[in-house]
């Protein structure tokens, strides 16, 4: 949950950070209103289907619009920079193979690994797609496809975005000396050859980036509210009875869970007013927490001999599956170390990376909470497979997704078939 809340914070706060910090509250308010009131009004595609849940329709619409919006921004930057290139054109040896680690102070090898942090952050929230599992049909098939396809699609668009910048990049020393630490405006101004051209591209880029960020903020806040609700439903957070309630008046939106997730984002965002270093520690811990949450079930599956994935819809085979799972766990462990390191040396109290302190602190709190209530609640909620023992849990799963059509028994996943009908 810490990873879910902090990664959502990094998005909602990251949008106004490029413009004005005060916009943070406005972005959060718009996101909250969207998730609360507009779920069932904005979806426009596949409206004839009676088996499509409003949130599923909404997320599909948002993904299409956001994809087109993002593509437009990338194409504009590609054309403008490639056509003008006022600062000169870099050779392919620089754009594709240039590497200068001197600015970080680290050794070349470790500087290279530090450079992996941005792409690691980019893909860190892929697992949050699973938060919408109970609102789609056949999630064991659809969700892995969504996660898998997001990687090559993001990689291709990322390359298209970066290549024109690399081939027209101005003097790096000038960009590193920008006082604000945000050299995008200076970079575009130098590449376009004039303040007007730079301002036009920056303004256009800011507008497109702001729009893309808003789409991302709405999506990730929606997913964060579902994850919060799922934890409350399983009695994994304090006051779970309150935060696990579903509003029957707002298209089955988990209002209390959404308000909790939003309130935590606002409180953590206000930390920035007192200490930007402390705020950066909370934002930096997002990838570490999410990575740990991804690695633990994979590691447990490996220890258990991968027995529970033998009947999965997508199988890589025994050898490849073991190798992929092992590499994934090792990479997450390594990435956790990377995100604990300062970006530059020598280290000061301002440039120090305190994400590891926050990570360990939340891990201890989570462990203590689990020892106090988690063990007891979990054991009571697991339905017994022994028919002679009464089931005290009242049902482990509380499916609130769309009604399952009667004619899909042949294509329905075993897990979906085992779920009870929607609870009223």
pLDDT in tens, 207-221: 666 777 787 788 888
Q: How far is CA 58 from CA 73, 193, 284, 334, in A?
A: 23, 42, 29, 36
Whether the bond between 257 and the residue before it is cis, its omega within 30 degrees of 0, is: no
Out of 14-28, 91-105, 146-160, 213-227, least confident range: 14-28
Per-residue pLDDT, 391: 44
In this predicted structure, the answer to whether residue 412 has a pLDDT above a threshold of 70 is no
Q: What is the CA radius of gyration of the chain?
A: 23
Q: Which of 62-76, 149-163, 237-251, 398-412 has the highest mean pLDDT?
A: 149-163
Distances (CA, A) of 320 to 54, 71, 126, 127, 323: 38, 34, 22, 21, 5
- The residues near 22 (Cβ < 8 Å, ≥ 6 apart) are 16
Compute the Cα dihedral for 382, 385, 387, 389 and give only its sign: negative
* Higher local confidence (pLDDT), 44 or 4: 4
Quote the pLDDT of residue 36: 81
C-alpha to C-alpha distance for 257 and 241, rounded to whole angstroms:
11
Q: Of the candidates 106, 88, 108, which has an alpha carbon nearest to the alpha carbon of residue 98?
A: 108
Alpha helices in 275-390, H assignment, sequence order: 276-303, 318-338, 355-369, 375-381
Distances from the Cα of 128 to the Cα of 56, 107, 290, 329, angstroms: 14, 35, 9, 18
As a whole number, mean pLDDT of residues 86-102 equals 85
Residue 415: predicted pLDDT? 38
Is 338:359 a contact under the CB 8 Å cutoff?
Answer: no
pLDDT digits (tens, 9 = 90+) for 31-62: 888 888 776 654 433 333 333 344 444 455 55
Mean pLDDT, the chain, rounded, equals 74
The pLDDT value recorded for residue 200 is: 60
Q: How many CB atoms lie within 10 A of CB 382?
A: 12
Confidence at residue 275, expressed as pLDDT on a 0 to 100 scale: 66
In the prediction, which pLDDT does 40 show? Answer: 62
Q: What is the mean pLDDT of residues 266-272?
A: 79
User: What is the pLDDT at residue 84?
Assistant: 83
Helix count and strand count (H, E) for the chain: 17, 0
Tell me the sheet residues that pair with 247: 253
Does position 393 have pLDDT exceeding 60, yes or no?
Answer: no
State residue 60's pLDDT score: 57
Q: What is the pLDDT of residue 330?
A: 94
pLDDT of residue 373: 75
pLDDT band at 69 (very low <50, low <70, confident <90, very high): confident
Give the residue among 206, 197, 211 at the shortest CA–CA distance from 79: 197
Percentage of the chain beyond pLDDT 90 is: 4
Lowest average pLDDT, out of 90-99, 268-277, 301-310, goes to: 268-277
């Amino acid at each position: 949950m810490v990873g879910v809340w902090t990664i959502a914070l990094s998005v909602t706060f990251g949008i106004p950070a490029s413009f004005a910090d005060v916009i943070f509250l406005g972005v959060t308010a718009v996101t909250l209103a969207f998730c609360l009131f507009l779920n069932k009004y904005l979806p426009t595609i596949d409206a004839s289907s009676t088996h499509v849940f409003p949130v599923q329709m909404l997320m599909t619409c948002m993904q299409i619009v956001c994809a087109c919006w993002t593509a437009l921004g990338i194409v504009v930057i590609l054309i403008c920079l490639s056509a003008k290139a006022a600062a000169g054109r870099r050779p392919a040896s620089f754009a594709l193979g240039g590497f200068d680690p001197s600015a970080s102070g680290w050794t070349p090898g470790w500087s290279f690994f530090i450079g992996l942090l941005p792409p690691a952050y980019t893909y860190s929230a892929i697992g949050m797609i699973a938060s919408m599992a109970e609102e789609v049909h056949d999630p064991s098939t659809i969700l892995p496809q969504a996660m898998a396809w997001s990687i090559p699609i993001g990689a291709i668009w990322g390359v298209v975005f970066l290549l024109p910048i690399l081939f027209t990049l101005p003097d790096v020393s000038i960009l590193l000396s920008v006082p604000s630490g945000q050299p995008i405006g200076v970079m575009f101004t130098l590449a376009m050859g004039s303040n007007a051209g730079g301002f036009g591209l920056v303004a256009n880029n800011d507008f497109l980036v702001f729009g893309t960020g808003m789409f991302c903020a709405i999506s990730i806040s929606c997913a964060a509210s579902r994850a919060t609700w799922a934890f409350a439903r399983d009695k994994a957070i304090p006051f779970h009875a309150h935060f696990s309630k579903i509003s029957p008046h707002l298209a089955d939106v988990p209002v209390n869970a959404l308000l909790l997730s939003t309130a935590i984002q606002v409180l953590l965002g206000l930390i920035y007013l007192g200490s930007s270093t402390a705020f950066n520690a909370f934002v930096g811990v997002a990838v570490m927490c999410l990575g740990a949450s991804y690695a633990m079930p994979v590691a447990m599956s490996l220890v258990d001999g991968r027995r529970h994935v033998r009947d999965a819809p997508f199988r890589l085979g025994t050898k490849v599956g073991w190798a992929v799972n092992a590499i994934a766990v090792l990479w997450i462990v390594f990435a956790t170390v990377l995100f604990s390191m300062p970006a530059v040396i020598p280290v000061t109290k301002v440039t120090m990376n305190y994400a590891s302190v926050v990570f360990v602190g939340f891990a201890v709190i989570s462990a203590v909470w689990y020892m106090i209530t988690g063990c007891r609640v979990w054991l009571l909620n697991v339905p017994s497979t022994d028919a002679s023992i009464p089931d005290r849990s009242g049902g482990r799963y509380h499916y609130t997704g769309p009604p399952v059509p009667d004619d899909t028994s042949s294509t329905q996943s075993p897990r979906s078939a085992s779920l009870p009908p929607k609870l009223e």
